[in-house]
Amino acid sequence: VVVKAHPGHMATAELTAEAIVRAVVRCGLPGGVFNMIFGTDIGAELVRHPAIQAVGFTGSLAGGKALYQLAQQRPQPIPLFAEMSAINPLIILPQALQTRAEALANELVASFTLGGGQFCTRPGLILALRGAGLERFKSALCAAVAGSTPQVLLNAPTLQHYRQGVAALAAHPRIEKLASGIAAGAGQAQTLLWQAQVEDLLAQDTLLQSEVFGPLSLLVEVDDVAQLQAVVKALQGQLTATLHAEADDGPLAASLLPLLCEKAGRVLFNGYPTGVEVCDAMVHGGPWPATTDARGTSVGSRAIERFLRPVCLQNAPAALLPPALQDANPLNLLRLVDGQWTREAISSSH
């Protein structure tokens, strides 16, 4: 394993690497199993190196695409799992809007400003159906944003990218600023809320689907159910998609669920996507451009599958079988034997 440290926090990376190396020694793992390198162009060299057989990457769409092309252009192409870009749509259905407009507004601002808005699962697009509660929701949302403190981002380039993203939204003729947080000092990012027109989403305006890393979100009001379904179909692939729905919203939620499952690796109900738990059920992945490979996850126990390859050992002598495949099943694994899942040993009469 070779890790390229992020140039934005090299000292933290080195401290982390040292902790990992101490753990490697303590656990008796082979020396050299973990390595860290520093640099910028060195990442591309690493992807091209014949000894590298698979790559995981988290970063920008431009960076991920470039490394993906390099990996495919090698004499021997290799899998490249890039987690790149998502705006994580959050959809509020009518009854949810009516019954908890203010709570939704406050929780949502807390989510999209969490960690300075630097979560790849930050809800960057809020879709709300026009109807009772919408004006209360917008007022509460604007108030929460207005009270939001400025944030220090990861480093100077991240802040610069954030300001570029904000400038691009500001230059769009049909995107308007709804609310601003407390004024930011030098080196800080101001919380911002924008509103865009649903027609631009339906026309797949790329700016409305571009991830801006930092404390901002974009509100889009949707006329009716048919339009909402069309909007979901027009969205690019996402890490997450969230539905806020109450009991009466059930049929509408049921009609949206298959569409959302087509678009995202994780579909949430009545929650916020910024939490990513390391557990068996987690899928932190999704269709392009969220990732280069929708079949994988970069968080959760299934993440290891990105780096495994099946090998069939046919008619191998017992003495050569690894423990996982020995008849006695010494590792007590759950194994598929003649179509049945079992932890039983394979009897000699088998």
Q: Is 206 in the site for a copy of itself (CB under 8 A)?
A: no
Give me the DSSP letters along 326-342: STT-TT---EEETTEEE
Region label for 184, one of left (φ > 0), alpha (ψ between -120 and 50) or beta (otherwise) = beta
Q: How far is the CB of 191 from a copy of itself (least distance, A)?
A: 26
- Window contacting a copy of itself (CB under 8 A); options: 103-111, 133-141, 152-160, 295-303: 295-303
**Applying CB under 8 A, does 319 fall inside the site for a copy of itself?**
yes
Q: Is 323 in the site for a copy of itself (CB under 8 A)?
A: no
Distance separating the N- and C-terminal Cα atoms of the chain: 40
Q: What are the structure tokens assigned to 16, written together?
A: 């982390």
Of the candidate residues 167, 183, 280, 347, the single one contacting a copy of itself (CB under 8 A): 280
Closest approach of Cβ 202 to a copy of itself, in Å?
Answer: 17
| Out of 27, 171, 317, 332, the residue judged to bind a copy of itself by CB under 8 A | 317
- Looking only at the bridges linking them, the beta strands covering 89-92 and 238-244 are parallel
Question: Based on CB atoms, which residue is closest to a copy of itself, 4 or 266?
Answer: 266
201 near a copy of itself, judged by CB under 8 A = no
**Between β-strands 340-342 and 335-337, what pairing exists: parallel, antiparallel or unpaired?**
antiparallel
Q: Which amino acid is at 70?
A: L
CA distances to 114, 126, 189, 246, 279 from 243, rounded to whole Å, are 19, 10, 28, 10, 22
Q: Is 51 in the site for a copy of itself (CB under 8 A)?
A: no
Measured from the CB atom, the residue of 30 and 310 that comes closer to a copy of itself is 310
**Positions marked active-site:** 83, 120
Q: Check residue 253 for interaction with a copy of itself (CB under 8 A).
A: yes
Please identify, using beta-carbon distances, which residue of 75 and 173 lies nearer to a copy of itself. 75
Query: For residue 58, what are its two tokens?
Result: 């988290």
Task: Compare residues 8 and 251 and give the one whose CB is closer to a copy of itself.
Answer: 251
On whether the CB atoms of residues 240 and 125 are closer than 8 A, the answer is: no
Identity (one letter) of the amino acid at 293? D
* Euclidean distance between CA atoms 234 and 90, whole angstroms: 15
182 vs 325, beta carbon nearer a copy of itself: 325
| Nearer to a copy of itself (CB atom), residue 40 or residue 76 | 76
Q: Which two structure tokens, joined as six digits, stand for 298?
A: 């970069």
CA–CA dist 350, 335 (Å, integer): 15
237 scored as a contact of a copy of itself (CB under 8 A): yes
Question: Binding marks (x or -) toward a copy of itself, 71..110, rule CB under 8 A?
Answer: -x---xx-x-------------------------------
- One residue of 35, 69, 155, 160 binding a copy of itself per CB under 8 A: 69
264 has which bridge partners?
238
Candidate residues 17, 161, 288, 326; the one interacting with a copy of itself per rule CB under 8 A: 288
Where do the H-state alpha helices sit in 133-270?
134-146, 156-171, 198-202, 225-234, 250-263
> Residue 334 interacts with a copy of itself (CB under 8 A)?
yes
Report the C-alpha gap between 70 and 44 in whole angstroms: 7
314 binds a copy of itself (CB under 8 A): yes
Total number of residues that touch a copy of itself (CB under 8 A): 52
Both tokens assigned to 56? 């995981």
Contact residues for a copy of itself (CB under 8 A)? 68-69, 72, 76-77, 79, 237, 245, 250, 253-254, 257, 261, 264-271, 280-283, 285, 287-289, 292-295, 297, 302, 305, 308-317, 319-320, 334, 336, 339, 341
